[in-house]
């Protein structure tokens, strides 16, 4: 691991807006060939960080390096980055072809090569044949795919994607995730990806940065964050989690880590409140005093249960947090 090359470094970076919003004390090393996702609720500062890396914001403190060189004095076009904006930013007066060709012409790429590259890029995002259309003639999801194609055509060594799949429906979204992973490993590029969709972050990333109000709450691999959330906030943000208060502590455990014992023996007892069959597993809610505990069980257990039945719950894996954290 020690010989992994650091591609991007955020060093005590700050970007504060005049009204005091923004981010500060941002420290992170991103390795070459890594996909790192910034995940967090609306307004936590994800776009702010991405724009600072891409050069669309001046930082107000600290430094950003790529391949060891500070880039904060460089304008966006001089950085080895390409960014897909949350609002895709296609030029409305240009056709799709012209939108895609623009950056390549600036780089003096031969016309034949431009045509061939554009054809490939459109195929990649399932938009073949749309060259002559204008952005206004495309749906939001289609425009988003063109914006992705445009960024890939620039063959950046660092790709910055701000919720690039948010306007796509579930199936294309899934396809695009797989394509992005393939492109990333084929080209060996480094990707910084912003999303507020935890499932997207979990499936796509090598590491996830969970953000809360302008700060990093936790940085880790998807499994580290899922199995070892370092705070109540991260525990509640990633996956499903039950919380029960005991004295000055909060106990947190996932629905898949609860055993439901028919009859009533267990660490806590309660009564079955709802039973929902969700395909190969079943979600059983159990009323335990004032708490409702969600449990995922197999059909062989749920088939023996009815609403109102007394059950006991035991859990093998749990986390303890300070109640007032
Ligand atoms: N140009 C700006 N001027 C002043 N404040 C801003 C500006 N852009 C963003 N902010 C504020 O900075 C904070 C972080 O915004 P940012 O756009 O980075 O959030 P985000 O995590 O990308 O949210 P979302 O998921 O909604 O896109 C917010 O409180 C926002 O209101
Ligand atoms: Mg944003």
pLDDT digits (tens, 9 = 90+) for 278-314: 888 999 999 999 999 999 999 999 999 999 999 999 9
Q: For ligand 1, is residue 245 a contact (CB within 6 Å)?
A: no
**Counting Cβ atoms within 10 Å, is residue 53 exposed (0-12), middle (13-18) or buried (19+)?**
buried
Ligand 1 atom closest to Cα of 22?
A: 12
Cβ distance 192 to 208 under 8 Å?
Answer: no
Specify which residues 28 forms β-bridges with. Answer: 10
Task: Quote the CA–CA distance of 12 and 22 in Å, as a whole number.
Answer: 13
Q: For ligand 1, is residue 223 a contact (CB within 6 Å)?
A: no
Q: For ligand 1, is residue 135 a contact (CB within 6 Å)?
A: no
pLDDT at 183: 82
Which tokens hold the place of 296?
């995922």
Q: Across the 325 residues of the chain, what is the mean pLDDT of every consecutive 10-residue run?
A: 85 95 96 96 95 95 97 93 86 96 91 96 91 94 90 91 87 85 86 92 95 95 96 93 94 95 90 93 95 95 94 94 89
**Counting Cβ atoms within 10 Å, is residue 153 exposed (0-12), middle (13-18) or buried (19+)?**
buried
Q: Which residues contact 221 (CB under 8 A, 6 or more apart)?
A: 206, 207, 208
Task: Quote the CA–CA distance of 181 and 146 in Å, as a whole number.
Answer: 18
pLDDT at 46: 96
pLDDT at 8: 98
Which protein residue's CA is at the shortest distance from atom 8 of ligand 1?
Answer: 48
Bridge-based pairing of strands 158-162 and 190-195 is: parallel
Task: Quote the CA–CA distance of 282 and 299 in Å, as a whole number.
Answer: 6
Write down the pTM of the prediction.
Answer: 0.89
pLDDT at 2: 54
Domains assigned to the chain: 6-232 (3.40.50.300), 243-322 (2.40.50.140)
3-state secondary structure the chain: CCCCCEEEEEEEEEEECCCCCEEEEEEEEEECCCEEEEECCCCCCHHHHHHHHHCCCCCCEEEEEECCEECCCCCHHHCCEEEECCCCCCCCCCCHHHHHHHHHHHCCCCHHHHHHHHHHHHHHCCCCCCCCCCHHHCCHHHHHHHHHHHHHHCCCCEEEEECCCCCCCHHHHHHHHHHHHHHHHHHCCEEEEEECCHHHHHHHCCEEEEEECCEEEEEECHHHHHHCCCCHHHHHHCCCCEEEEECCEEEEECHHHEEEEECCCCCEEEEEEEEEECCCCEEEEEEECCEEEEEEECHHHHCCCCCCCEEEEEECCCEEEECCC
Task: Measure 100 CA to ligand 1 centroid, in angstroms.
Answer: 28
Task: Measure 210 CA to ligand 2 centroid, in angstroms.
Answer: 14
Task: Measure 144 CA to ligand 2 centroid, in angstroms.
Answer: 15
């Amino acid at each position: 691991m020690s010989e992994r090359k650091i591609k991007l470094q955020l060093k005590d970076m700050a970007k504060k807006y005049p009204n005091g919003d923004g981010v500060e004390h941002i420290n992170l090393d991103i390795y070459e060939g890594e996909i790192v996702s910034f995940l967090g609720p609306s307004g936590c500062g994800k776009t702010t960080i991405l724009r600072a890396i891409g050069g669309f914001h001046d930082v107000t403190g600290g430094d950003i390096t790529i391949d060891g060189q500070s880039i904060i004095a460089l304008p966006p076009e001089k950085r080895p980055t390409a960014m897909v904006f949350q609002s895709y930013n296609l030029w409305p007066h240009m056709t799709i072809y012209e939108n895609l060709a623009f950056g390549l012409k600036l780089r003096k790429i031969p016309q034949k090569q431009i045509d061939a590259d554009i054809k490939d890029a459109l195929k990649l995002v399932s938009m073949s044949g749309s060259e002559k259309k204008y952005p206004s003639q495309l749906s939001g999801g289609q425009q988003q795919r063109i914006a992705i194609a445009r960024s890939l055509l620039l063959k950046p060594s660092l790709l910055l994607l701000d919720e690039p799949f948010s306007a796509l429906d579930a199936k294309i979204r899934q396809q695009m995730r797989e394509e992005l992973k393939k492109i990333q490993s084929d080209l060996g590029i480094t990707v910084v990806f912003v999303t507020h969709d935890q499932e997207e972050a979990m499936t796509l990333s090598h590491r996830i940065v969970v953000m809360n109000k302008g700060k990093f709450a936790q940085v880790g691999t998807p499994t580290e964050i899922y199995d070892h959330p370092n705070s109540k906030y991260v525990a509640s943000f990633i996956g499903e989690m039950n919380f029960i208060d005991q004295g000055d502590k909060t106990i947190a455990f996932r629905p898949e880590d609860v055993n439901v014992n028919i009859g009533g023996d267990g660490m806590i007892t309660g009564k079955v409140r709802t039973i929902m069959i969700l395909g190969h597993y079943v979600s059983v809610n159990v009323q335990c005093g004032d708490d409702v505990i969600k449990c995922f069980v197999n059909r062989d257990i749920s088939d023996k249960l009815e609403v109102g039945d007394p059950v006991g719950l035991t859990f093998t894996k749990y986390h303890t947090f300070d109640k007032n954290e």
